[in-house]
């Protein structure tokens, strides 16, 4: 049988019958580490300080230092060329349908070209007339050369006549002197009654005949000199006429060049009546129909080239180590689960906001810093797949930086 438990000890009541107001408190043990209550606030303050320093000084370091930079702000891009008319006219035919594939040089749209054909023919006739005018001018110069040669021959002939007249004068002068002396001698003999009147008359007649012959030779000399002067004037006149023709030739050549330029412009306008595909690609929706009157600048359709690329708009904090030549992996939403390899070929020289229609001006008003994005151009390694893509498709681009 076990021992019974000891009975509780009771305190006898006070003889006065009054209970104590508070019982005596039991002594509490002292804290072992009194600084523990300050540790938690201190740790919180250190963490807050670390977060503040990270946010203000080196927040972007971890993002720019990543080996793989990913963005879903990326799209398929391609050259979209609006094809427009250069000249006015009526649409004769539209030779493609909407979204049709075309080859380089295919005729897309043709305008009625009757007016431009006539203008080209008129310009061509003007060019032929200009060429004929130049040929005529050269023929006239050849005619002037013959006239100059004829006048030079007249000068030679006149000089020969002058020489002959001067020689004749010299020859007759001796006879004139001889007959004059004979006349004087016969007159002296007749005065001395040593000669007959017949001899005197013969001497006088001889003197007069040779005098007349001398006067005739002098007249021939003057006539030859006059012919010489006339031929010299004729040569000078013909030469000046040739100079005029030569200056006219320069003017005619310049006029011909102007007419040839007009012909070239007319032929160019004629060629503008046909709009061809600039390269291999696809056309968009047709915007004109046969019979429609179009003016210069009217857009007829949009041409989409086969060459496509990816434009990935990376945040400026991601561009720390991205450079031309880095490899990229592209995930196209149109082909889920398929990864396409590519390569960075260009990085835009400025952020996208700088190429906007209205670039932001942070020099006035309040300023709020916004992370900018910079376009990065990525070429796909699979050119066949790139040709099948459509501009505007969404993609996710991952660039592997080489550190």
In percent, the amount of the chain with pLDDT more than 90 equals 43
pTM for the whole structure:
0.61
Beta strands in 264-326 (DSSP E): 274-276, 281-283, 293-294, 299-315
Convert the pLDDT of each residue in 271-321 to its tens digit: 999 999 999 999 999 999 999 999 999 999 999 999 999 999 999 989 988
Structure confidence at residue 4 (pLDDT): 41
Question: How confident is the model at residue 225, as a pLDDT?
Answer: 78
User: Smallest Cα–Cα separation from 110: which of 260, 271, 233?
Assistant: 271
Read off the pLDDT of each residue in 376-385 and give the average, rounded to a whole number: 93
Is-contact 214 134, C-beta < 8 A? no
Give bridge partners of residue 394 from the DSSP assignment.
75
Percent of all residues in the chain with a pLDDT value above 70, rounded to a whole number: 78
34-73 pLDDT tens trace: 666 677 778 888 888 877 776 666 556 666 778 889 999 9
Q: Name the least confident of 78-82, 356-360, 391-395.
A: 356-360
Q: Residue ranges of the domains in the chain?
A: 61-112+281-359+370-400, 115-268
Residue 189, pLDDT score: 64
Q: How confident is the model at residue 348 (pLDDT cuts 50, 70, 90)?
A: very high
Distance, in Å, from the CA atom of 363 to the CA atom of 357, rounded to the nearest integer, reads 18
Tell me the CATH architecture of domain 115-268. Answer: Orthogonal Bundle (1.10)
Same fold, 61-112+281-359+370-400 and 115-268: no
267 — pLDDT class (breaks 50, 70, 90): very high
Across the strands, what pairs with 276?
A: 107
What's the pLDDT at 224? 77
The fold for domain 61-112+281-359+370-400 equals Elongation Factor Tu (Ef-tu); domain 3 (2.40.30)
pLDDT over 50 at 196, yes or no: yes
């Amino acid at each position: 049988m076990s021992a019974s438990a000891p009975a509780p000890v009771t305190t006898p009541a006070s003889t006065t019958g009054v209970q104590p107001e508070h019982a005596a408190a039991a002594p509490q043990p002292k804290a072992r580490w009194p600084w523990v209550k300050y540790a938690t606030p201190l740790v919180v303050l250190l963490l807050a300080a670390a977060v503040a320093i990270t946010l203000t000084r080196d927040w972007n370091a971890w993002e720019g230092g990543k080996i793989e930079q990913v963005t879903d702000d990326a799209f398929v891009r391609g050259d979209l060329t609006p094809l427009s008319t250069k000249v006015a006219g009526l649409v004769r035919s539209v030779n493609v349908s909407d979204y049709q594939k075309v080859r380089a040089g295919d005729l897309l749209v043709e305008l009625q070209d009757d007016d431009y054909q006539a203008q080209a023919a008129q310009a061509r006739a003007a060019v032929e007339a200009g060429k004929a005018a130049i040929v005529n001018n050269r023929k006239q110069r050849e005619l002037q050369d013959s006239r100059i040669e004829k006048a030079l021959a007249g000068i030679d002939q006149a000089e020969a006549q002058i020489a002959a007249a001067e020689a004749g004068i010299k020859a007759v002068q001796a006879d004139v002197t001889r007959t004059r002396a004979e006349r004087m001698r016969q007159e002296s003999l007749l005065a001395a009654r040593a000669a007959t009147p017949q001899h005197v008359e013969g001497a006088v007649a001889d003197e007069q005949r040779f005098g007349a012959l001398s006067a005739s030779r002098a007249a021939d000399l003057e006539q030859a000199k006059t012919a010489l002067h006339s031929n010299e004037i004729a040569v000078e006149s013909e030469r000046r006429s040739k100079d005029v023709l030569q200056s006219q030739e320069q003017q005619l050549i310049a006029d011909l060049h102007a007419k040839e330029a007009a012909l070239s412009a007319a032929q160019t306008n004629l060629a503008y009546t046909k709009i061809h595909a600039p390269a291999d690609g696809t056309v968009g929706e047709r915007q004109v129909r046969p019979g429609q009157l179009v003016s210069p600048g009217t857009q007829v359709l949009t041409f989409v080239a086969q060459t496509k690329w990816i434009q990935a708009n990376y945040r400026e904090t991601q561009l720390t180590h991205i450079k031309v030549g880095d490899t990229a992996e592209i995930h196209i939403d149109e082909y889920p689960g398929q990864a396409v390899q590519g390569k960075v070929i260009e990085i835009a020289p400025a952020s996208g906001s700088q190429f906007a229609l209205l670039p932001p001006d942070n020099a006035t008003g309040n300023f709020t810093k916004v992370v900018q994005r910079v376009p990065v151009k990525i070429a796909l390694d699979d050119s066949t797949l790139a040709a099948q893509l459509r501009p505007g498709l969404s993609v996710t681009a991952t660039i592997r930086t080489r550190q």
